[in-house]
Amino acid sequence: MIFTRRSLCCALTAALALSHVARAAPQLDGMDTFETDRITIDSTSGPGPDVILLPGLATPGEVWDGVVADLDGRARTHVVNVKGFGHGDGAANAAGDLMAGVLSDIAVFTRDRGLDRPALVGHSLGGTLALQAGIETPDLYGRLMVVDALPFVALLFDPGATKDSVEEQAASMRDRMAEAPAGANAEATAERYAIGEDAQKRVAEWIAASDPQTVAQAFYEDMQTDLRPALSDIVAPVHLIVPVPPEAEGRDFPAQYESLYGDVSNFTLHPVEEARHFVMLDQPDRMTALIEDFLKLSD
């Protein structure tokens, strides 16, 4: 996989900085909340398939508000909030085992609510979690959508990376991120991750409101999670959403991503033009349409 100097710089800057516009937050009838010391999950009721929506690093479930509103009455949405991302007490997550703990709690929720192989849609770190869930609990989830995530995020820093080769770097970055003031360089990071000014403002606010220790721990764990050897174990269909930003300048980002997912047996890639990392904020209508098709709501 080939990464440009610019993409590497963007990734590093975003990591060190972290400690069309989304619709207003939906106020929907029949909301139900599940809570543990690591997550909350807000669910809607009604007809349609079940879909669990996972946010990314330093991002609350609010990032999915537009999709939730668009799917109201046609799908039951279950929005995950990771405590310490965007708001909430992140103490349990900052203490360690964040990714495993979050996945375990989502599995408990899925079984407790009697959901029948719901779909998982995850953005960024949430996309990595969706892949991991598909590997570790293949009978629990019916289909997976990954929004701008890699099976091994450390490849952004070194195309030849292994877990061992980046462990020292990941630990060093974790420690610096944990010690940084909350929201350090949030605005600059947001500008790299979203196109519209309103979207950038929202992303910056989420970063600033996140707990640096929780974000640092999540980033470290993500850097130490290499799912590539187990991708062939995924039996669910996987849909990958790849943003193609205005500054792409002819570089084939979709092909670079696709090369890392070659071992997934049932794989579909969807490029989204004129979008950065927060696809659902930059291209909300396109994001909703992709999820509708993914859930077969348009059949």
Residue 102 placed within a domain: yes
Residue 266 placed within a domain: yes
Residue 247 placed within a domain: yes
Residue 18 placed within a domain: yes
Residue 132 placed within a domain: yes
pLDDT by 10s per residue, the chain, length 299: 334 424 433 443 444 344 433 334 444 455 799 999 999 999 999 898 999 999 999 999 999 999 999 999 999 999 999 999 998 789 999 999 999 999 999 999 999 999 999 999 999 999 999 999 999 999 999 999 999 999 999 998 899 999 999 999 999 999 999 998 877 789 999 999 999 999 999 999 999 999 999 999 999 999 999 999 999 999 999 999 999 999 988 778 889 899 999 999 999 999 999 999 999 999 999 999 999 999 998 65
Number of structural domains the chain divides into: 1
3-class secondary structure for the chain? CCCCHHHHHHHHHHHHHCCCCCCCCCCCCCCEEEECCCEEEEECCCCCCEEEEECCCCCCHHHHHHHHHHHCCCCEEEEEEECCCCCCCCHHHHCCCHHHHHHHHHHHHHHHCCCCCCEEEEECHHHHHHHHHHHHCCCCCCEEEEECCCCCHHHHCCCCCCHHHHHHHHHHHHHHHHHCCCCCCHHHHHHHHCCCHHHHHHHHHHHHHCCHHHHHHHHHHHHCCCCHHHHHHCCCCEEEEEEECHHHCCCCHHHHHHHHHCCCCCEEEEEEECCCCCHHHHCHHHHHHHHHHHCCCCC
**Segments forming the whole domain that contains residue 246:** 5-294
CATH number of the CATH domain containing 33: 3.40.50.1820
Residue 98 placed within a domain: yes
Residue 214 placed within a domain: yes
Residue 299 placed within a domain: no
